[in-house]
Chains A and B, each alone.
Chain A
Amino acid sequence: MLIAYKETRPSCVQSWNDELYLSLDVFKDLSSLTIDTLKRKNDWVFPYSQHYVRTVNLIVPKGYSVKEVPPNVTIETKNYQFSIRYDVQKDTIAYRKELIIPDPYLSKSDFGEWNAAVSRLKNAYLKQITLKKN
């Protein structure tokens, strides 16, 4: 299934002085999936195996250049692999996020590791691209 649409999201850009701050990922997948280890008594089972790939290409507006992009993130465990990459080329920034959960079963003993991974993801989502006026 292919869905095409256009939207404007002013809240993804902040400007201050001669800089623009941008967040390219509005979906923030898995960011709310911290497991409450005090309340949760059983293992966790996702409804199915999951493989998210989100790519966003930002065309740097004329008159601006890339000052800073957030660092890449890679998390690999036996149960899942998460990665976030920023690829800066001439006048574009390519954002690629890949979240792979091949086994939907997450054992209670792995909750701590999972929460740490989600925390790193959340932290990555809060990091902004900085564009500077030429």
Chain B
Amino acid sequence: MKFTTFILGLLLLPVCVFADNRQDAKMIREMIWAWDNPEFKNYQVPAGYENESAVILVRHQHLEATSKNRFRMNFMLFGDVNRELYYTYIDRRMVKINDLSALKAFAELTFRDETKTMGYLRSNKLKTIVGARVIKPDGQIQEVNVDDEAVSVTEGKKEKDALRKLAISGLQVGDVLDYFFCDQMELETYNIPPEVFTFYSSYATLKYSVHCEFGNKLTVEYRSINGAPEMKSTVDAEGNYVLDAEAQNLMKVPAYEDIRWASVYRSFPMIRMYVLNNASKLIYKSANARQSGVFANLPYEEYLNDSKALLAAQEKEMIWMADIDKNVKKTVTAYIAGHPSLDFEQMAVLLYDALRFHWPDNYNYYPRDKFVVKLQKLLREYHVPHQLLFATSRFGVRKDDVVSDDDIIPGLLANGKQVFFFNNGYRYAGEVSPIFQGETAATVEVVKYAMKKNYGIVGAIGEYVMPVSTAHDNLLASQMDVKLCGDGLQELTVKRKLKCTGSMKDDYWQLLLYEDWDSEMRKALGIEKTLIEELKEDKSTRKRIDEYMSIRENRKKSQEEAVQAELTAYHEQEPKSVLGYSFTGVGVTPGNPVWEYEVSYTLDGLVKRAGKNLILDIGKLIGTQWQPNELDEKRQVDAYLPTAMHLNFEIAMEIPQGYTVEGLDALSFEYTNDYGSFHATCKKEGNKLLVSVNKIYTHAYVPVAGWKEMLLIAKKTNDFQGRSVVLSPL
């Protein structure tokens, strides 16, 4: 009898849980719809917003978090008490739909209704409840039955992302959509996800407010940046921290992906907030982590100490590094034997290259901080003068605006001028990534690691301004030999040689294979064995050589497709055929810093026929260029280019026998302003038409006041792109 009851109980359990979930969701919806906020009861849009696609009448974010001691049995059946975090996040918006574009944008809501992630012997749970109702122009309110109408879908790689999609039934232009997402989390091993309260929007927003209530055992750190309002901080009767902020008529900005060269964290008003469960023993934190309390606008030095202390903690965890150490030293020793008079700068490059070459690609087990500590130890062992470097990114917050050690990226400075970071793409040793150029980083001498101290590392602190590259350091030089061929001379054969330096290489990394990098690094480090030879030596890898060879073949095929895709993007049309390609330089070592690539192909569509004359759209041979659109014309924020840059095109076109070329005057351009230039010249030399084009952006940072000058450079370029030459029979 007891057994039957037990089985029946098990069978009924999902039904009960299902019913409970629905009941909870219903209760939460009722509670949120009943909010005593007059703005959510006013459905009228003031005059002046008729031409807006949608108007957010009001948006309110409500956050509550508290931590509690709780006894839990983990799946290993050990029980203990830990301080768990309970978190509720509600984001409610009321939107007036003014046109079809807005209707399309708001007609569907996507959310993840339940998820569970495992930490170390622990679990974290998330549940999302969604509510939506449509307010008709006559004031009638139609609530959407989310529980029944939302459908489950899978997305992403291997369709593993399980989501729910809700189509808002009955929503029409002229209606107001009132909807919210409510996330409820129980977190054992994680902090609350970092919050960013954005005081800007891609839709006109009349009113925006944030209200937070946090238990007094939590640590709350935040900062208002780029002109966002300050939060008002109080304590309620129960001792909870209460924070509020509000604004009206938010700055309207286009969607990020539509803004060219934007640095969001440096341009748009926002409040960044971290709510930390520092009282939990299961959450990894710096020795400098603050105890409970509310901390607004902490100085940079606090977060620098966090970074230092976290780095120091890694120093004690350098286990499983013996193999890496052995391999690096073997490579370094052999290299020094062949090059006995290395100076300190060469030594720094050697150590960095050897370490990154032998560093495993499993970044979970071998993360950035371990790499930095290991490199520091190697530099010390080989007596290379060095300091640790703590830098911010140009595309993250400014140094004085940091709110977390996540904003600070550790690296090394050797010999007072060489900069080394962990993940540096395919850049060569010491090449400074565009994200760091011009940033003022903190330097730290390492006298001693002291992981239990709040300062983390004993040693003098200083500053280092990262070097800024010029336009000529970031050069894309394209040399094109062009011939008219095919039926009626309406096809082009193009031989294009490309040389890139600095940041201009970044766009071509997709063409590079790991094997190209590997073989170049072996050459630079004096490693005689090839990757295959090394794989054959080791018992564990020998068996997998066939598998590796097959992967390599697939990568080669992908490279062919990438070459085709690069040409398609360059010409905005597919080449007729790719005749061949080769790489003469991959630009990954200081001895070979230039990316060089050659590709031959045929192309049609650029030669038109008018009677007996041929018209060649020669301007189009400089490829796709930025064509400013309406959003560019109305830009309100500063521009952060990756770097200053120089694009150079040298086109040599063979004039077909029996033809002469005319219309050359139209190809001369000479334009310069404070932010760059566009120059083009053209001449005939024997049977060749030679066209030389140079487009230069001289600044990596362009304040909005200078943006019009950038538009003018772009427009001159577009003007040139529309130019043609006429080939007429002699």
Hey, which bits of chain A sit against chain B, CB under 8 A?
Answer: 10-11, 14, 16-17, 19, 21, 23, 31-32, 67-68, 70, 122-123, 126-130
CB closest chain-B residue, reference A31: B605
Contacts of B610 in A (CB 8 A): 19, 21, 68, 127-130
Docked complex Cα distance between A68 and B609 (Å): 11
Give the shortest distance, in Å, between B456 (CB) and chain A (any CB): 57
Is residue B663 contacting chain A, with contact meaning CB distance below 8 A? yes
CB closest chain-B residue, reference A21: B610
Docked complex Cα distance between A68 and B574 (Å): 31
Contact with A along B592-610 (1 / 0, CB 8 A): 0000000000001101111
Interface centre among A14, A19, A21 (most CB of B within 10 A): A14
Is residue B724 contacting chain A, with contact meaning CB distance below 8 A? yes
Is residue B198 contacting chain A, with contact meaning CB distance below 8 A? no
CB closest chain-B residue, reference A12: B722
Is residue B668 contacting chain A, with contact meaning CB distance below 8 A? no
Contacts of A16 in B (CB 8 A): 613, 662-663, 726
Docked complex Cα distance between A130 and B611 (Å): 7
23 A-B pairs in the complex with CB atoms less than 8 angstroms apart: A11-B722, A14-B615, A14-B663, A14-B724, A14-B726, A16-B613, A19-B610, A21-B608, A21-B610, A21-B615, A21-B726, A31-B605, A32-B573, A70-B609, A122-B604, A123-B488, A123-B490, A126-B607, A127-B609, A128-B608, A130-B610, A130-B611, A130-B613
Docked complex Cα distance between A127 and B605 (Å): 11
Name A126's contact: one of B490, B611, B662 (CB within 8 Å). B490
> By the criterion CB–CB under 8 Å, are B726 and A126 in contact?
no
Contacts of B605 in A (CB 8 A): 31, 122, 126
Docked complex Cα distance between A7 and B480 (Å): 34
Docked complex Cα distance between A52 and B285 (Å): 65
> By the criterion CB–CB under 8 Å, are A67 and B611 in contact?
yes
Docked complex Cα distance between A19 and B604 (Å): 24
Give the shortest distance, in Å, between A9 (CB) and chain B (any CB): 10
> By the criterion CB–CB under 8 Å, are A10 and B490 in contact?
no
CB closest chain-A residue, reference B607: A126
> By the criterion CB–CB under 8 Å, are B611 and A23 in contact?
no
Other 6 A-B pairs with CB < 8 A, given A127-B609, A130-B610: A10-B722, A21-B608, A21-B615, A32-B573, A68-B610, A128-B609
Contacts of A129 in B (CB 8 A): 610
Docked complex Cα distance between A68 and B573 (Å): 29
In order of increasing CB-CB distance, the 8 nearest A-B pairs are A128-B610, A21-B610, A16-B726, A126-B608, A11-B722, A68-B611, A130-B610, A130-B611
Docked complex Cα distance between A11 and B615 (Å): 12
Docked complex Cα distance between A47 and B611 (Å): 38
Give the shortest distance, in Å, between B572 (CB) and chain A (any CB): 11
Docked complex Cα distance between A17 and B32 (Å): 74
Give the shortest distance, in Å, between A120 (CB) and chain B (any CB): 11
Give the shortest distance, in Å, between B544 (CB) and chain A (any CB): 30
CB closest chain-B residue, reference A36: B574
Contacts of A11 in B (CB 8 A): 722
CB closest chain-A residue, reference B719: A10
Give the shortest distance, in Å, between B135 (CB) and chain A (any CB): 30
Contacts of A127 in B (CB 8 A): 608-610
> By the criterion CB–CB under 8 Å, are B615 and A128 in contact?
yes
Docked complex Cα distance between A68 and B612 (Å): 10
Docked complex Cα distance between A29 and B488 (Å): 22
Contacts of B573 in A (CB 8 A): 32
Contacts of B574 in A (CB 8 A): 32
Docked complex Cα distance between A65 and B228 (Å): 64
Docked complex Cα distance between A19 and B728 (Å): 12
CB closest chain-A residue, reference B606: A126
CB closest chain-A residue, reference B573: A32
Contacts of B490 in A (CB 8 A): 123, 126
Contacts of B662 in A (CB 8 A): 16-17
Give the shortest distance, in Å, between A88 (CB) and chain B (any CB): 14
Contacts of A128 in B (CB 8 A): 608-610, 615
Give the shortest distance, in Å, between B664 (CB) and chain A (any CB): 11
Contacts of B722 in A (CB 8 A): 10-11
Docked complex Cα distance between A3 and B514 (Å): 52
Give the shortest distance, in Å, between A28 (CB) and chain B (any CB): 9
Docked complex Cα distance between A10 and B718 (Å): 12
Give the shortest distance, in Å, between A35 (CB) and chain B (any CB): 12
Contacts of B608 in A (CB 8 A): 21, 23, 126-128
